[in-house]
Structure 1
C-alpha cells in the first residue's frame, strides 16, 4: 500500500467517530421531535421560555430591548442568543429560528464529541469502545434533549466541548486550536455561567506559555459579560438580567455564604445533584486511579474540569428540563473519557460514572416527559396567546411570559417580573397592597391570566374570576396545569365573557375552559 493510500485511510479513520457521533445525536433529536409531534399534533417547543427570546429579538429588530415597545427589560439571560433570533422578526418564520440554531449546535456537539474521542486515542487504541462512546454517551448525557428545548443551552454545550477539544490539542500537541479560542468566547456569550470554564481554559493557555493568547482570551470573555452588563445599565436596568434575578428571588437566596449553603442543601432535593456529585467524585479520584496523569500535561484539563464543576455546583442551577447543567456535564464527561483512554479499568470506570448517573436521571425524561412537553405548551400557553392576540387584542397581564408576548402588538404585563422591573421589585421585596392590581391599572390591563396560588392577596379585591383553562392528560415543564382568567374590574367582565365564548370552540383536545359560575364571583 502506498504512503498516500495509508494517509488517506488514516484520515478516513479520524472522521469515523465524529461522523458516527453526529449521526447519533441527530437521529436522537429526530426521534424526540417525531414523538412530540405525534403527541401534540403540531410543532411546538417544550418550554415557553423560547418565546421570551423571540419576543426580545422582535424588540431588538425594532430598536428596543425587552418585550414591549418603548419599555426596556432584560427578560433574556443570554447576551447573544436573542441577537441570533433577530432575522425574520415580525414573521411566523422567525418561530423556527430556535429550531434551526439548535440543530446546528447539536451537529457541532456531535462532531466535537467525536473529535475529542479521536484526539484521546479511541480510534487507535479502542476502536470498538470508541464507537460505543460515540453512539451512546451523547444520547445518555442529554445532548439531543438540550437541542429539543430550543434554548441557548445547546450552543453553550457546543462551546464547552470546543474548549475541551482545544485544551486536549494544546496539552497533547502544544498548539492553539482556533476552536479553543472560539469556545472560550462563545461560552459566556451564551450563558453567564460559562465564564468559569472560559477563564480556567485561558489560565491553562497562560500556564503553557501562551501568555498573550491566554490574557486576550480571558479579557475577551470578561468583556462580553462586562459589555452586556454595561449595556443593561445604560438602559437604566440592573446589570444582572431580570430573568436571573427572578430565578434567584424565586429560590429566596442571598449572595452571601448562607445563601450558597441553602442553595446547596436545596439542590439535594432534586435528582440532578447526583450527576454533579458523580462527576466531581470522578474528577477528584482520577489522579489516584491514573497516577500517570499527575505528571502529564493533561492534568491541567482534569483541574479545569474539577473547578468548573465545583463552580457550577456552588453558583449554578440544576434541572428544569435538565438544561442548566448540560454544558458542564458535556465538558466533564468528554474530558474524563479522554483522560481515561490510555489508563486502566478503574480510571475508565470513573470516567463513565457521571454517564451512569446521567442515564439514571435523564432516561425517564426521554421516555415520559419530553414527548408530551410540547403538548403542554400548545394546550396552555399557545391557547392563552391565541385568546390574547386574536380575541382580546388589548393589554393583558400574565405570569408566564413568552408565548403571549411574542408577536403581540398589545402591552403584556409580566407580573412575575422578567419583563417588568416594577413587578420584579414588588414581588421580591414587597410592594403596596394589591400591587398586581396597581400595575394592571397603570397599564390599562383588563384581563389577567395567572396561576391562582402565586399571588394570593396581591390581586385586586374587585377582580372577577372568569374561569380557568385546564389541561387533561400528562403535563410537563409548565408550572401548573390550570390557569385562572380574571377580569380586573366588574365592568370588564361582561365583554371578556363574550370573547371567551368565541374562543372556547377553538380549544384543541386536551384543553378545556371551565367558566366560573357567576354566583361564585
Structure 2
C-alpha cells in the first residue's frame, strides 16, 4: 500500500484540480462550459453522425471540420450508445487521463523513487493534464497513444518479434487518427528502421500503416467534394503565406512554445552526453533512438504545426519529451558524485516550465470558459430561442450548431467547403477577399438565409444586410473577437431582429453588452 501512495496522491491532485476548475466555471455559468468553442465542434459533428449519419457540422451536408477524425468518431459512438450529453468528452478525457497516468506509472517504476515522483508529477502539472481533460478536445487521447507508440517502438527495438511490430503498427494507426502530427514522429521511426536498422520492409510497412487514417479520411473527404486534408489543417496550417509568413509563424511558434523549448534543451543535453563517446554519426543515433525521434518530431512540429491556443497544441510534446528524458534524469539523480550543476539545472528548467504552463492556466482556463459562455453560449441560446432551425451566416460555429439544428454558411470556411476553397485560393485570407464577399452575397440571397452573427473584422458582410446590433464581451482571452454583429439578411426582418435582441438582452449575463441600433 505504501508503494502506491505517490500514485494515489497524483490521482487525488488531478481530481482536486478538475473539481476546483469546474466549480469556478459553475459559479458564473451555472454549469461547466468548455474553454474552447472547438469542443462543441467535435460534439456537433459527433451528434450529427450519431443521429443523422451525416459527417458534418450540421445535419444537412458533409463537412470536413474536425482535425481529429478518430476522436470525433469516438464521441459519435458514445453518443449513439449513451445519448447526446455535452459532458461525454469530459468523462472520456478523464478516463484517458487515468490511463495516461497508469502507463507513465508503469514506465517510471523501473527508475529511482525521486525520478518516479518528479516525472509523474511533471506529467500532471506540466502538460497540464487537468486542463487538457477539461478542454473537451482530443489532446489527452493523442498524448496517450503517442506515449504508447514510443514505448512500443522501444520494445520492438529491444525485441524484434512480429507481435511487437504488430502492436507498434496498430498504435501508430490510432495515434495518427487522433492527430495527424503523430506522423512527424512515426516518420522518423521509419527513417531509423530504414537507415539504421536496415529493416526496409518494416520501415515501409510502418509508414503505410500509420498513414492509413489520413488516406481513408482523405478519400472520403474528396469523394464528398472536400479537401484531402481536414479544413482546419488547410486553413490554419503554416504554409499559406509564402516564405515570409512561414518564417513569421515559426518564430511565433517558438515564442509561444518557449516552455517546450526548455524541455528540448534537456533533451539535447542528454543526446550530447550519451553520444559523446561514440565516434560515428550512426553510433551516436543508435544510443539515442527515442530522444532522436522525439527531437526530430518536435522540430517538424515547430515548422509546420501550431503552438498555443490554451497551450493545447504542444501538450503532447511535453509528455513525449518527459518520456524521453526520464532515463537520463534517473542516471543524474542516482549519481551521488555526479554533475550537481546539471542536476540543479534540470530541476530549475522543470520548475520554470511549471511556472510557464501550469500557473497562468489557473487564471486563463476559467477566463476562457467565461469568454465562451458570454459569447458562443449566448449566441447559441439566442438562436435556440428564435432561429433554431433557420439558415444562419456565422463564423464561430461550434456551440451554435451543437445546441441547434441550423443550416449554416460559415464565412471562416471550417464548415463550408466553398468558403474554404475561396480562402485557400487567397492564401487563407478572408478579410479583404473579394471573391469570398461575392460568394456570401449570392449564397445568402439565393438560398434565403435569415440572420448573420459574425465578427465584422473577419469578413465584410454584403451591403444589403441590415446591421441591427452587437454583442460585446469583456476581458477577451479566447474568443475570436470581442464583438459579434447581428445582421438581418432581409431588410423586412430588421424590426423583428431588433425586437428579439431587446428581449434577449434582458437575460444575458450582466457583463455582456448588447447594443441595438435605433
TM-score band, normalised by the shorter chain? Answer: 0.7 to 0.9
Q: Deviations over 1:40-67 (max 9, x none)?
A: 3321111111111112123322122212
Residue 292 of structure 1 deviates from its aligned partner by 7.8
Separation of aligned partners in 1, 2:400 and 2:66: 15
From 429, 437, 441, the counterpart of 1:437: 441
Shift of 1:210: 7.5
- In 1, are the aligned partners of 2:115 and 2:330 still within 8 Å (CA)? no
Matched, 1:156 2:142: yes
Alpha-carbon separation, structure 2, partners of 1:227 and 1:293: 45
**Further displaced range: 223-232 or 30-39:** 30-39
Contact 1:414 1:420 in 2 (8 A): yes
Q: Could you list the runs of 5+ residues in structure 2 that have no partner in the other structure?
A: 333-337, 427-432
Relative to structure 1, the CA distance from residue 49 to residue 103 in structure 2 (aligned partners, 3 Å threshold; closer, same or farther) is same
**What is the rounded CA distance, in whole Å, between the counterparts of 2:71 and 2:7 in structure 1?**
26
1:69-468 → structure 2 map (5 Å cutoff): 69-86=59-76, 87-88=78-79, 93-119=84-110, 121-122=111-112, 127-170=113-156, 176=164, 180-201=168-189, 215-248=204-237, 253-254=240-241, 260-268=246-254, 270=255, 272-291=256-275, 299-343=288-332, 344-345=338-339, 348=343, 352=347, 355-393=350-388, 394-428=390-424, 429=426, 430-432=433-435, 434-455=438-459, 458-468=460-470
- Aligned mates of 2:81, 2:458 — CA distance in 1: 32
What corresponds to 1:5 in structure 2?
Answer: none
- Distance in structure 1 (CA, Å) of the matches to 2:277 and 2:172: 24
- How far, CA to CA, are the matches of 2:277 and 2:116 in structure 1? 21
User: Would you say 1:489 and 2:479 are equivalent positions?
Assistant: no
Kindly provide the CA deviation profile for residues 231-251 of structure 1, in whole angstroms up to 9, marking residues without a partner as x.
111112110111112213xx7
Partner of 1:3: none
Change (3 A) 1:96 1:179: farther
Measure how far apart 1:350 and its partner are: 6.4
Query: Is contact 2:49-2:55 (8 Å) kept?
Result: yes
Asked whether the 8 Å contact 2:267–2:324 carries over to 1, the reply is no
1:334 & 1:38 partners in 2: Cα distance?
37
CA distances 1:477-505 after superposition (whole Å, capped 9, x unpaired): 11222211111232110111222233222
Contact (CA 8 Å) 1:112, 1:165: kept in 2 or not?
Answer: no
Superposition TM-score, scaled by structure 1 size? 0.85
| CA deviation vs aligned residue, 1:243-297 (integer Å, no higher than 9, x gap) | 112213xx7734x7655433213334x4x23224323333222233345896796
Of 400-409 and 211-220, deviating more is 211-220
Superposed CA RMSD in Å reads 3.0
Secondary structure, counterpart of 2:409 in structure 1: strand
1:362 CA displacement: 1.7
In structure 1, what is the Cα distance between the partners aligned to 2:319 and 2:249?
23
SS at match of 2:125: helix
Choose 167-176 or 332-341, whichever is displaced more: 167-176
Q: Aligned pair in 2 of structure 1 residues 190, 205: CA closer, same or farther (>3 Å)? A: same
- Name 1:4's counterpart in structure 2: none
Closer, same or farther: CA 434–260 of 1 in aligned 2, 3 Å: closer
- For 1:470 and 1:195, the matched residues in 2 are separated by 40
TM-score, normalization: structure 2?
0.85
SS at the partner of 1:506?
coil
Aligned equivalents of 1:449, 1:491: Cα separation in 2: 17
1:462-481 correspondence to structure 2 within 5 Å: 462-472=464-474, 474-481=475-482
